[in-house]
């Protein structure tokens, strides 16, 4: 199973527009995070927690499908079961990275008096 997961990860990260899509996800999360939460970290934590709990439930749902299908699927295509969960994990990571980092930068830059508008 580990070989199939590694194969799926290598397949996902070598997709044609994967890294540009992750960069766009990070940038969009940063823009939305800064505009919605305005550097308010306690409120942003609640937003991140709600989205991460949703993603966790999606992974659990996909995990039950994988556990059920993995023993009966052909070994040559078993890695395909892991492609979508891995994409979701990468997307979630880069979204959270952009969301949290831009909120912290915004808070540091504009709320702490480092910049006079």
What is the arithmetic mean of pLDDT over 11-37? 88
Task: Output the pLDDT for position 116.
Answer: 54
Q: Is the pLDDT of residue 33 over 80?
A: no
Task: For residue 69, give its domain range.
Answer: 1-9+39-117
Task: Output the pLDDT for position 63.
Answer: 85
Task: Output the pLDDT for position 14.
Answer: 92
With contact defined as beta carbons under 8 Å apart, do 82 and 4 qualify? Answer: yes
Task: Output the pLDDT for position 56.
Answer: 86
- Please check whether residue 106 lies inside any domain of the structure: yes
- Please check whether residue 25 lies inside any domain of the structure: no
Q: Is the pLDDT of residue 99 over 60?
A: yes
Task: Output the pLDDT for position 113.
Answer: 60
- Please check whether residue 23 lies inside any domain of the structure: no
Task: Output the pLDDT for position 83.
Answer: 87
Taking CA 85 as the corner, what is the angle to CA 62 and CA 104, rounded to the nearest 5 degrees?
Answer: 120
Q: How many domains does the chain have?
A: 1
């Amino acid at each position: 199973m580990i070989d199939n997961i590694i194969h799926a990860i290598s397949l996902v990260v070598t997709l044609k527009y994967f890294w540009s899509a992750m960069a766009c996800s990070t940038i969009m999360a940063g823009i939305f995070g800064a505009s919605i939460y305005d550097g308010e970290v306690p409120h942003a934590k609640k937003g991140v927690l709600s989205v991460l709990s949703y993603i966790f439930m999606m992974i659990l749902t996909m995990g039950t499908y994988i556990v059920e299908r993995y023993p009966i699927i052909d070994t040559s295509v078993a890695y395909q079961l892991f492609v979508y969960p891995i994409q979701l994990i990468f997307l979630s990571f880069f979204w959270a990275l952009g969301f949290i980092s831009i909120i912290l930068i915004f808070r540091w830059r504009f709320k702490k008096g480092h910049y006079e508008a």
